[in-house]
C-alpha cells in the first residue's frame, strides 16, 4: 500500500459518532515505550504542509488525541503515531506524533517502530538485506533503514534532521534543587540535559517518581529562563523535556544511562531516540565521541538500549550541526479497535495524576 493510499484511508474515514465509532490501531513498543499507530477511523485532516496538519489536529481534532492517549483507552504515558500524507516528495509516509499533553515534532522510538511497520505492511517494498524509506516528521524528513532477512524485519536505524547544541553549561535556578548547569540541544526536539548528581539523585537507585519530579522542575525553570530559537520554523522552538543522565559522557564501551521526562511529565521507557540524537550532538561538540565510535545509551526506566553515533558535520542556519545515526529494535504487541459510545460520560478520556 502506498503512503498516500494509507493516509487517504485515515482521512476519508466516517466521522460520525453513531455507535459504534471505531478507530483501529497497531500496537508496538520500542525499548518499552509504546507506539500506538493509528491506521483507520481518524477524521479528515486539513493542511498542505505537515506543520499545517499538526496545527489542524491540535486546534480542531484534539479530542481524538485525548480519546486515544488518555484513559480508559490509553494511560498517562501512552504515545501515538498518526499517519498522514507527506508533502515532501522524497518521503514515503508522513506522521504526526501525539502524547499526553499534545503533539511532538520528532520521535525516534516511533520512527524505529514505523520503519518495521512500513516494511511489514507493504507501505514500501521490502528489500534484503535492508529496506530504505523516508518518514516525514514535523521536524523534517528522517531517513530510515530496516534490516530485512528471510522475510522478517529487524533492527532499524535512522538519520534524523541535523542535531545541534543550543547552549552548554547554561545556569538556571531550579526551585527545591538550587542553581544547576544544563546543556540544551536539539535532536528533532529541544531537551535540557544534566547529570543526576546535580539533582542529588542516582539513576541506578532513584524511584521514577523522584526523577520525574526533578526533571519536570528543571524543564519549567529552563522554559522561564532560556528563550529558544529554531533555524527552520518558530513552531519548533520549544523545550520538549529534560533528560537526566548518569554523567558518563566520556566514551566507554558500556552503556551510559539516561531518563527522559517530556510532555506533561511523561517518563520515556526507552532511551529516547531524539534525545539520544541530541545527546550525541553534545558529546560530539565536547570531543567525547567521533564517527568511528558507536555509543550505547540505556533507559533508566527499563534498561533497554539504543545506539548512537555522529555521522557527519553540517549546518542548520546559524548552528553548527551534526547528522546522528540512532538504532534500536521495535516489537509488535497487538492490534486494537477502540469504540466511542455517544452516551458514555467519560468518552473523551481522562488522566489520573
Residues near 188 by Cβ (< 8 Å), separated by ≥ 6?
A: 105, 106, 107, 108, 137, 139, 140, 142, 160, 161, 163, 274, 277, 278
- DSSP labels for 199-213? GT--TTTS-HHHHHH
- The angle at the Cα of 296, spanning 100 to 229, to the nearest 5 degrees, equals 50
- The angle at the Cα of 106, spanning 239 to 199, to the nearest 5 degrees, equals 40
Query: Catalytic: 111?
Result: no
Among 107, 111, 137, 260, the one annotated catalytic: 107
SS3 266: strand
- Please name which of 135, 155, 158 lies closest in space to residue 83, comparing C-alpha atoms: 135
8 Å CB contact between 111 and 69: no
Taking the CB of residue 173, how many other CB atoms lie within 10 A of it?
A: 11
Residues designated as active site: 107
Amino acid at each position: 500500500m502506498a503512503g498516500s493510499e494509507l493516509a487517504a484511508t485515515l482521512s476519508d474515514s466516517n466521522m460520525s459518532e453513531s455507535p459504534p465509532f471505531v478507530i483501529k490501531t497497531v500496537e508496538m513498543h520500542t525499548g518499552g515505550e509504546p507506539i500506538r499507530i493509528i491506521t483507520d477511523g481518524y477524521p479528515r485532516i486539513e493542511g498542505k504542509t505537515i506543520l499545517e496538519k499538526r496545527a489542524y489536529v491540535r486546534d480542531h481534532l484534539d479530542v481524538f488525541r485525548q480519546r486515544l492517549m488518555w484513559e480508559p483507552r490509553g494511560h498517562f504515558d501512552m504515545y501515538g503515531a498518526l499517519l498522514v500524507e507527506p508533502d515532501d516528495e522524497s518521503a514515503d509516509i508522513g506522521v504526526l506524533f501525539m502524547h499526553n499533553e499534545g503533539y511532538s515534532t520528532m520521535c525516534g522510538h516511533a520512527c524505529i517502530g514505523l520503519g518495521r511497520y512500513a516494511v511489514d505492511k507493504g507501505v514500501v517494498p521490502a528489500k534484503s538485506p535492508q529496506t530504505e524509506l523516508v518518514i516525514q516528521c514535523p521536524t523534517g524528513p528522517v531517513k530510515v533503514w530496516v534490516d530485512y532477512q528471510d522475510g522478517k524485519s529487524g533492527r532499524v536505524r535512522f538519520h534524523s534532521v541535523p542535531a545541534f547544541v543550543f547552549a552548554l553549561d547554561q545556569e538556571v535556578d531550579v526551585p527545591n534543587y538550587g542553581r544547576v548547569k544544563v546543556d540544551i540541544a536539539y535532536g528533532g526536539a529541544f531537551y535540557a540535559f544534566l547529570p543526576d548528581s546535580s539533582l542529588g539523585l542516582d539513576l541506578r537507585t532513584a524511584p521514577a517518581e523522584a526523577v520525574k519530579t526533578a526533571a519536570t522542575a528543571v524543564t519549567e525553570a529552563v522554559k522561564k529562563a532560556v528563550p529558544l530559537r529554531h533555524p527552520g520554523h518558530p513552531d519548533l522552538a520549544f523545550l520538549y523535556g529534560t533528560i537526566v543522565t548518569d554523567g558518563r559522557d566520556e566514551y566507554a564501551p558500556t552503556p551510559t544511562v539516561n531518563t527522559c521526562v517530556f510532555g506533561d511529565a511523561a517518563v520515556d521507557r526507552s532511551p529516547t531516540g531524539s534525545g539520544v540524537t541530541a545527546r550525541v550532538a553534545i558529546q560530539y561538540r565536547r570531543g567525547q565521541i567521533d564517527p568511528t565510535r558507536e555509543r550505547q545509551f540505556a533507559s533508566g526506566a527499563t534498561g533497554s538500549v539504543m545506539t548512537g553515533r555522529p555521522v557527519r558535520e553540517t549546518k542548520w542556519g546559524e548552528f553548527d550541526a551534526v547528522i546522528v545515526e540512532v538504532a534500536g529494535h521495535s516489537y509488535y504487541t497487538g492490534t486494537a479497535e477502540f469504540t466511542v459510545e455517544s452516551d458514555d460520560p467519560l468518552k473523551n478520556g481522562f488522566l489520573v495524576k
